[in-house]
Structure 1
Amino acid sequence: MSVRCGRRWSRPPDRRPRSRRRVATVAELVPDPDSWEAGNRQAIAARYRVVRPFVRLLAEELPLGAAPAGTDLLIEIRGRIPGLLRRRVEQKPLTEADLNMTLVPPMWRWAVLNNPALDGAADRDAYVMCLLTQLHAALRRRDIFADPSLRWADPRARLLDGPDWAAVRGEVLAGLGLTASAQQHLAEYTATLDAGWRLLAQRIAEAGPDASVRVVPDGETGRMRLSVQRLEKLGDPPSLVDLHKRVAAMMPVVDLPELLMDVHSWTGMLDAYTHVGGLATRLDQLPVTIAGLLIADACNVGLVPVIRPGDPALSRDRLSHVDQNYVRPDTHAAANARLVDYQARIGITDLWGGGLVASVDGLRFRVPVQSIHAAPSPRFFGYKRGITWLNAVNDRFAGLGAIIVTGTVRDSLYILDTLLNLDAGPKPEMVATDTASYSDIVFGLFRLLGYRFSPRIADVGGTGFWRADVPGQPAGDYGPLNAIARNKVNLDRIVTHWPDMLRVAGSLITNQVRAYDLLRMLNRDGHPTPLGQALAEYGRIAKTLHLLAMVDPVDETYRRTVTRQLNIGESRHSLARKIFHGHRGDIMQPYRAGQEDQLGALGLVLNAVVLWNSRYIDLAVNVLRGQGYPVRDEDVARLSPLGYAHINMLGRYSFPTPSTEQKLRPLRDLDMVPE
C-alpha cells in the first residue's frame, strides 16, 4: 500500500519493532563468486561513475604521503589511476599483467578478473574501486596520510626521536617509574603476576566446593573456564536510609542561576574567563554575563530566556560580545580547575574517595542539524546523527575533563586522550570503563603511562588469561588453574621493542601525538604492527592481573570499586540530562567549536552543582552530629552530591549581584522530613 504525500507517492516507513526487522547474514553480505556476474558488478560500475570525476583530483592534487606499508598503494594510485581513467578499455582491454594484483585482496579478485562480459580482460572499474577501498583503509591506519594536516597527519612523524627524545627521556621515565632495564622491569612484573596466580589458587582451594569461583568445562569449546558468581548488590541499612532522608530534607531550595553565583562567591570561578587577546576587562558585572551564557548553553535554552533588556550585563549585545571574546575551551578548563580544587578541600569528600580513582564514559547527544562533526548510529540516535561526550569523573563525583567524539566509535580509542588532557586534580591511578573499551594494546599503553586500567568485563570467566614463564626458571604450578593459565606471554617480543615502547609512552605523556591516532596505527584493523604486538604482550600481563583481582573469591573490594565508580558516571549523566533539558536534549550546534563551548558549559555547571551539594551535605552532616544524631562514616561514604530535587532548573533565570562574602544559605528545618 502507498500513501499520498503532497504530489509524490511514497511507501510508508517500516513500523515493525527494530528487534523483529530482518538482519542480513554474513553469507548475504559477502556473496559467492557467481553473484558478481549480476547485481554486484552493476553496483561497482555505478559507484565508479559516481567517483570518476574526482578520482583524478584525489590522485594528483591531494598532498598525500605514505609510510612503508602504504608506499606501493600510493604509487599505484598516483602513477596508474590517471592513465586508467583516460584509457578506452573497449579498444585496448586490460590484462592481469597491466595491474598490480598484489594490491587486490582475494575478495576483489573475482570482481577484477572474472567479468564474463569482458571476455577474460580485467575490469578497470572494479580495479579502481578496489584501490579506493584500500586507500580508505590505509588512511584510517595512517599508512597513507595527509601533510600538512592535523587530523590526518602521520603519527609516526610526531613521535619523539633522536635529540628531542634524549632531552626529556630521563625526566619522563622517572615520572613513569620506568627507569629500570627491560629485563629487570619484566622480572618484577612477572613475579607480581605469578604471586597473583598463586594467591587465587590458594583462596579457591581454601573455599572448597562453596567457592564463588570454580574451574568448570566450557560446553562450547570443551576447554576449562572460570565460573564466577554474580556480585550481589549491597543493601541499604536503615541508618543510611534515614540519614539520606534527613540530609535531603535539609538541603536549601535554590534556582540554578543562584547556585552558580553562590559557587562563584566561594571559588571565583567566573573570574577565570579572560579576554582572548589577554586584555584587561573594562566591563562591569562581567561575572553576571558569563553566568548568563553558561546557563544558556548548559540548559540548552539559548540566549532569549536570559536576556534582560533593562540590565546592561544581560543585554543581547553584551552577551554576544562576551561569548565571542571570553568563552572558549581553555577558559572553561581554567574555571573547572577551580571547582575541582575547591571541592577536594571539603571534609566530606575524603570519605567518598581520595581522587585517585576515575572512570571514563560517554554521554550521547543527537545532532538533528546538518553537521560534518556528527555521525549516524541507529542504536543511539535513531534516524538522526550524533556525537559522544566522553568525560572523566573521579570518585569524589567531580568531572576532571572531557572531549567530543564524532558518532559512537569505540571509546577505548579516545580514553587516553581524555585522561592526558585533564583540567585539574591529581593524576588518577585507577581508571574504570565499560566492557567495550578494552583491548590488549590499550592495557599495555595504560600500564606504561602509570594507570591501572580496570574495565568491567561482561564475561570475566571466559576471557583469555595469561601466564609469564621466565626463561631458565621452572614454570609456576597453579594447581587446577593451570588449565586456565594456558596462554603464555612472549617476553622476548617485549624486550625487543622495549626502547620503542618507552618512546611511545614519552610521546603520549608530552602530548606529541594523539592516543587515538597512535592506536589506529598500531592496531591496523585487527592486524597489529610488530610494535603493537609487543604492546599487546605487555598488556596481557596487566589484563591478567586485573582479571585475577576481579574474580577474587575472598576480597571483593576491587570489583565493587569498579562497579561503584561506573555507577557514579551513570548517575552524573542523569544529572547532566536534567540540566540539559532544552530542545529535547539535542545539540543544535553544527560546528565543533560550538559543540565544545556548549558541552564545556554543561560540564562546568554540572561540577558547580556537585560542589554546591557537597558543601551543603557536609554542613548538614556536621549539624546532625552537633545535635547528637548518630552519624556513621560508612553511611556518609555512600551519600551522593548528585541529587537535584531541591534545584529549580526551569523557568526562572535571575542572576543576583556577585558577592565577595562566602555566605551559606540556611538549612531547611528537619520537620520537613516525611514520616
Structure 2
Amino acid sequence: MSTIERTAYPRFKKNISSKELVKIYTPNHEEIEIAHRVAKGEAQVLNFILMIKSFQRLGYFPKINEIPIEIVKYLCSQLNIASDVDLNLPNRTLYRYNSSIREYLNVTEFGASARHVITEATYKAAQVMNNPADLVNVAIETLIKERFELPAFSTLDRLARHIRTLVNSNIYENVLNKLTSDKKLQLDSLLYIEDSENYSKFNYLKEIPKSATINHLKALGNTYQLLLSMGDVESLIKEIPIAKIKHYASEAKVLDASEINNFSIAKKYTLILSLIYMSKVKTRDNLVEMFLKCLRKIQNKGKDELKKIQEKNRVKTENLISILTNVLLKTNDNNKNDTTLGQQIREIVNANGGTEVLLTDCDTISSYNGNNYLPLIWKFYKSYRKSLFRLIKLLEIRTATQDYSLIEALNFLIANEDKRTELLPFTLDLAFASAQWQNTVMVKEGGNTFLVRRHLEVCIFYHLASGLKTGDLCIDTSEDFADYRKQLLPWEDCEPLVSDFCTEMDFKENPSEFVAQLKSLLKEKSIEVDKNYSDNGNITINEKGEVVLKRAKAKNIPKSALDLEKAIHKCLPERDVIQILCNVEYWLNWTRHFGPLSGSDPKLENAVERYVTLAFGYGCNLGPTETSRHMKSSVTPHMLSFVNRRHVTAKKLEEALKDIINLYDKCYLPNLWGNNKIAAVDGTMHDLYKENLVSEYHIRYGGNGGIAYHHISDKYIALFSHFIPCGVWEAIYIIDGLMKNKSDIQPDTIHGDTQAQSTPVFALTYLLGIKLMPRIRNWQDLKFYRVDKSHKYKHIDSLFSDVVDWKLIETHWKDMLQVVFSIKAGKIVPSTLLRKLNNYSHKNKIYQSFKELGNVIRTIFLLGYISDIEMRQQITSTTNKMESYNGFSKYLSFGGEGVISENDPDEQEKRIKYNNLVANAVILQNVVDMTLILKELSANGVEFTKSDVATLSPYITKHIKRFGDYVIDLENIPKAIDMSISIPMK
C-alpha cells in the first residue's frame, strides 16, 4: 500500500496557523443560513458547519473526531457556541447532512460512475507512469475535476495498484510473445558469469564512460559493439512509451544480475531490453561526446605546437632582422659604389650561414608566422586515426540540412581509408570547409590540383565535430545529437497558439508588426538615453568615444543594523546539520519523496532515519564510509550506498527541495529580503576525479572538475541546480533551471555574470517572457545596434557600430515561435537547443535569426545598464547573494576534501542536489531561529526597523556544528513554525 504522505490525498495539516483558519475555515453568510435551515440546535449547526468546511478543504467527509481541535474552537468562536458542546450525532442525521452538503456544493457521491471515470483516467496514465502514488494523484485530480466525492485513500490505492499491475503485465507479456528462443538465450547469457570473466556482461550495460583518451575511446567502442550485437532491440519494445522504457531501464540499472533473475520471466526480459535500448542511446551519446573532446584535444595540441614553433623561431626572426638591419645600414652609405656594397652584403650573408640557410629560415618563419596551426594537427591525430575511423563506421551520421557535401566527403574518406598515397584526386566539393582548411588540403602538382590525404582526413573529422555541435549533422537514434528540428512541434500545432501567446506577451501577431514593435522599443530607448545624457551624470563619453560609467557607491550599513546582527548571532542556538535535517523533516516530512524506484513503499527498518542520514552524508560530501564512521547508530556504508542507488533519484531530491522552498517562501523574513520575481545564476567549480567524461580542466577556475550551476532567489534560497561540464557556455542552462523549478517562487528576472549571456540567450529569454539582466564584464567590447543608418544621436552616437537586420527577424518570426512553443510544451529542452545555437552555427538560419533578435534585446538592455545606476546596483546586489550562496553551500560540503568522488554523471548531479537540500534546510532553520529571536528582542524592548532587518542574511554558519559524532533524534520535536508571525518594527 502506498503511504498517504506520498500522494496528494487531502488531509488536515498538523499545525494550522491562525491566518489559515481565517482564510479557509471562516463560514460565509449563505453557509450559515443553510446550516440553520437543515440543522436544529447549536450542536447540530456546528456539526453541519464543521462538515461543510471540512469537505470544502478535503473533498470527503472526515469522522468528527478527526477534525483538529483548532478548527472546532475557531468555528465555535465564529458561531458563538461553547467549545465543550457534544458533537456526536446519529448516523442517519449525518447522512442527511452529507446529502445536503453534496447538493449545495454540486458534488456527486463516489459510486460506480466515479469508479468508471477514474479507472479510464488511471489506465491511460499508467501507460506512461509507473509510480502508484502518481497514479493515485491522477485519480484524485480526475475526481475533483469531475466533481465527485473522494473515496477512502485505500480505495484509490488498491485501484491504482491493480491498474498498474494490469498495464505492466500486458506490456511484459507482449514483449515475451515477441521473443524467439534464441533471443531469450542471448538475454539470459547476459546474466551469467563465464569462467574467463569476473562479472557478467549485464554490468557492461551499466558501464560509466571514462575520460576522453584513446584507450577509453576504444573501450567505449567495444561496449557499443556488444550492445549492437544484441540485435534489433527497438522492434521488440517499440510499442512501449519512451517514458515507460526509461523507467524500466532505470529500475534495471540499480539491480544486479541475481536480483533481475528473481523477477518473472516476462518482466526480466522487458527490463533487460529496456536497459539495452537506453544503454545504446546513452553510449552513442557518450561516444560522440568523447569524439568531440578528443578532436578538441587534438586541435589544442596543434595550437600549442604552433606556439612552441613560433617561440623557437623567435631567435631566427631576431637574427634575420639583425642581418637586414646591417644590410640597410650598408645600403644607406651613399659614398659606396654598387660593387663594394654587393661585396659587403655577400660577406654579411656568408657570415650568417649563407644564402641557403637564410632562405630556409625565411621559409620556416613564413610558414608559421600566422595562426595557421592546421598542418600541425596530423602529428597528434595519427595515434587516434584507427579509433576515429572505427567510430564513424559505428555511428550512423547524417546531414540535418540539404547540404550533403560533408557526408559525401566522409564516404570518400572511408573508401580511401587503407590507401597510403599522399595525394588523392580532387573529386570532392569542399564547400563545407573554411578557406584556411581548403588552402591546407589542396596542393597543385604538375598543373593539376590534388588533395593531401593526411590533411583531408583531419579536415573532415574537424568539420564532423563542428557539424554535430551545431546540429547540421545528427544521429537519429541519439538523445543529445538527434535532429532537434524533428523535436519541434509541427507548425500546424503551433499556429492555434499564436494569438493567445502574443496577447499574453504583448507581442504583435504579424511578423512585420512585431518587427515594427521592436524598432519602436529600440528607437525609444536610444532616444531616451541620448536625451537624458546631459542630466544623467552616471555616464560619460569622451572624445575618443570611450564610455566611462560612474562607479556605484556601496550602501553604508547603519550601526543599528550591525548591532541587530550581532545580537542575533549571540542568541542563535548551537545546532548540528543532522539535527536541522530532523527538524525540517518534522515540519515537512520531506523524506516521503524517497523510496524504491518501483514505486513501492520502502521496506527499510527506520526508513526516515536512514533517509535523513543519507541526505546528511551525501549533502555534506562525507560519503557512505565517513558517514558510517561518525554515526553512533549501526548504519553501514553498504546500507547508505544501497539506499542512495535504489531509493533516491535527482527528481525525488527536487521534490524534497520544492517542499523546503515552499515553506520558506511562507515565512515572514524572506519577504523583507526580496520578492518572488528575481533570481541570480552562477556556476562554481567542484573538483572531480579525472576518470569520467564530465571532468575537464577549467581555465577560469583552474583545476579539473565540473560546474555546479545554481539558480538562487533574491530571497537567498536555492531554487534549482545543474551539474555541468566545464567546457560548456554556462548561459545555455539558464532557462532549463527556470523551466524545471516547480516551486512557488517563480522568478521572471535573471541576473548573472558575463557567462550568463549571449545573443541567442537574450532572444530566447525575451520570447519566453524572462528579463535577462546580467552583470557583463568588458561590456564595452560588445556591439550596440541602431535601428537603421539614418538614426543619429547627439551624445551617444559613437556607441553604435552596426545596424539590425530586421528582414531576417521578420522572415524567421514563425520559426522562432515554433521553438518557443516547443519548449513550453516540453518537446525540447532549452539547453539542447542553445547548445546548437552557438558561434559555429553560421549556416543555421534559426541561429542567425535568434542572434539578430538578441542583438536588439541586448542593445536595449545595455542602454539601460549604462544609464541606470540603480539597475546596476540591483544586479550587483542580487549577484552578490549568488556568490555568497556558493561559499555557504561549500561550507556545508565539508567532507571528502572538497572532491566529488562519483564518476557517474547521474550520481554527480545527485550530489549537488543533496548539497542543495542540506543548504536550504539550514537556511530555513536559520530563518525560523532568527524570527523567534527578533520577536524576543522586540518583546524585551530592543527597537529596530524593517531596513535593519532587510540587511540580514540567512547564510549564518558560526553556530553550525559540522564535526564530531552525529546522533539522530527524531523524537526531539522542534517548535512549530507559525506563518502568521510578524515582528513589530518601526
Per the shorter chain, which TM-score range? 0.7 to 0.9
- Aligned equivalents of 1:452, 1:551: Cα separation in 2: 17
Which of 646, 655, 675 does residue 325 from structure 1 map onto?
646
2:750 maps to 1:431: yes
Amino acid at match of 1:84: N
Give, in whole Å, the separation in 2 of the partners of 1:313 and 1:350.
42
Aligned to 1:614: 927
**Paired residues of 1:56 and 1:81 also in contact (CA < 8 A):** no
Contact 2:533 2:795 in 1 (8 A): no
Counterpart of 1:8? none
Matches of 1:391 and 1:146 in 2, distance apart? 31
Corresponding position of 1:86: 418
Match of 2:951? 638
TM-superposed CA distance for 1:333, in Å, is 0.5
Whole-angstrom distance in 2 between the partners of 1:41 and 1:203: 51
Q: How far 1:403 moved relative to its partner?
A: 1.1
Q: Is the 8 A contact 1:313 1:319 kept in 2?
A: no
2:166 aligned residue: none
Counterpart residue number, 2:732: 413
1:59 and 1:81 in contact (8 A); partners too: no
* Change beyond 3 A, Cα 1:311–1:74: same
SS at match of 2:721: strand
Bigger Cα displacement from structure 2, 101-110 vs 156-165? 101-110
Q: CA RMSD in A?
A: 3.3
1:205 CA drift (Å): 2.2
Sequence identity (%): 22
Structure 2 residue runs without a partner (length 5+): 1-303, 314-363, 979-986
Within 2, Cα distance between the matches of 1:46 and 1:652?
Answer: 56
Aligned to 2:628: 307
Do structure 1's residue 647 and structure 2's residue 960 form an aligned pair?
A: yes
Q: Secondary structure at the match of 2:707?
A: strand
Aligned residues of 1:265 and 1:658 also touching (Cα < 8 A): no
The structural deviation recorded for 1:585 is: 0.5
Task: Give, as a single letter, the amino acid of the residue that structure 1 aligns with 2:419.
Answer: R
Q: 2:551 aligns with which of 230, 238, 244?
A: 230
Map of 2:816 onto structure 1: 501
* 1:491 and 2:812 matched: no
Farther off after superposition, 412-421 or 173-182:
173-182
Cα distance 1:315–1:120, how it changes in 2: closer, same or farther (>3 A)?
A: closer
CA 1:94–1:189 in 2, change beyond 3 Å: closer, same or farther?
closer
CA gap 1:564/1:27 in 2 versus in 1, 3 angstroms: farther
C-alpha change, 1:86 and 1:296, in structure 2 (3 Å) is same
Local SS of the residue matching 2:879: helix
Q: Distance in 1 between matches of 2:719 and 2:772?
A: 17
Question: What CA distance in whole angstroms lies between the structure 1 residues aligned with 2:680 and 2:468?
Answer: 31
How big is each residue's C-alpha offset from its partner over 1:125-180, in whole Å with a ceiling of 9 and x where there is no partner? 22112111111111111211122111222211111114443465566556555463
1:494 maps to amino acid: I
> Which whole-Å deviations, capped at 9, do the CAs of 1:27-84 have from their partners, x for residues lacking one?
9499977459xx9899555445424424543443322121226521012212x11221
**Cα drift, residue 88 of structure 1:** 4.8
Q: Which residue in the other structure is 1:217 paired with? A: 543
- Determine the C-alpha separation between the residues in 1 that align with 2:534 and 2:308: 45
- The question of 1:511 aligning with 2:826 is answered yes
Q: In structure 2, what is the equivalent of residue 448 of structure 1?
A: 767
Q: Comparing 526-535 with 250-259, which one deviates more in the overlay?
A: 526-535
Distance 1:48 1:664 in 2: 63
Q: Distance in 2 between matches of 1:332 and 1:117?
A: 69
Q: For 2:837 and 2:630, locate their aligned partners in 1 and report how far apart those are by CA, in whole Å.
A: 56
Cα distance in structure 1, aligned partners of 2:471 and 2:741: 26
CA distance in 1, matches of 2:455, 2:630: 64
Q: Which amino acid aligns with 1:362?
A: G
Match of 2:713 in 1: 394
Deviates more, 1:108-117 or 1:283-292: 108-117
Distance verdict in 2 for CA 1:528–1:28, change over 3 Å = farther
Work out the CA distance in 1 between the residues paired with 2:508 and 2:444: 60
Per-residue deviation, 1:310 = 10
Task: Give a deviation string over 1:600-651, Cα, whole Å, max 9, x none.
Answer: 1001111111111122222222222222322111121111001101101122
- Check whether the contact 1:624–1:631 (CA below 8 A) recurs between aligned residues: no
Paired AA for residue 548 in structure 1: L
| Mapped contact 2:709–2:723 kept (Cα < 8 A) | yes
Is the aligned partner of 1:538 residue 2:853? yes
The one of 885, 889, 895 equivalent to 1:582 is 895
In the alignment, the residues of structure 1 paired with residue 716 and residue 420 of structure 2 have an alpha-carbon distance, to the nearest angstrom, of: 67
Q: Which moved more, 1:351-360 or 1:451-460?
A: 451-460
The structural deviation recorded for 1:449 is 0.8
- Give the TM-score taking structure 1 as reference length: 0.84
1:204: Cα distance to partner? 2.6
Structure 1 unmatched ranges of 5 or more:
1-21, 219-223, 666-675
- Which of 551, 554, 558 lines up with 2:866 in the alignment? 551
Q: Deviations over 1:432-468 (max 9, x none)?
A: 0101332222111110011110110123455433333
Q: Larger relative CO (CA 8 A, sep 6+): 1 or 2?
A: 1
Give 1 or 2 for the bigger CA radius of gyration. 2
- Partners of 1:286 and 1:313 within 8 A in 2: no
Task: Decide whether the 8 Å contact of 2:681 with 2:756 is kept in 1.
Answer: no
Q: Write the deviation string for residues 419-444 of structure 1: whole angstroms up to 9, x where unpaired.
A: 22224233312100101332222111
- Tell whether the 8 Å contact from 2:405 to 2:430 is kept in structure 1 after alignment: no
SS where residue 842 of structure 2 aligns?
Answer: coil
SS at match of 1:405: strand
CA, structure 1 residues 75+32, in 2 after alignment: closer, same or farther (shift >3 Å)? farther
The residue matched to 1:277 in structure 2 has which SS? coil
SS of residue in 2 equivalent to 1:466:
strand
Report the number of matched residues.
622
The equivalent residue for 2:397 is 64
CA contact (8 A) 2:753 2:775 kept: yes
Q: Distance in 1 between matches of 2:624 and 2:560?
A: 45
Of Structure 1 and Structure 2, which has the larger fraction of its residues in helix?
Answer: 2
Distance change (3 Å), C-alpha of 1:103 and 1:193: closer
Match of residue 459, structure 2, among 106, 130, 138: 130
Counterpart residue type for residue 468 of structure 1: V
Three-state SS of the structure 2 residue aligned to 1:420 is helix
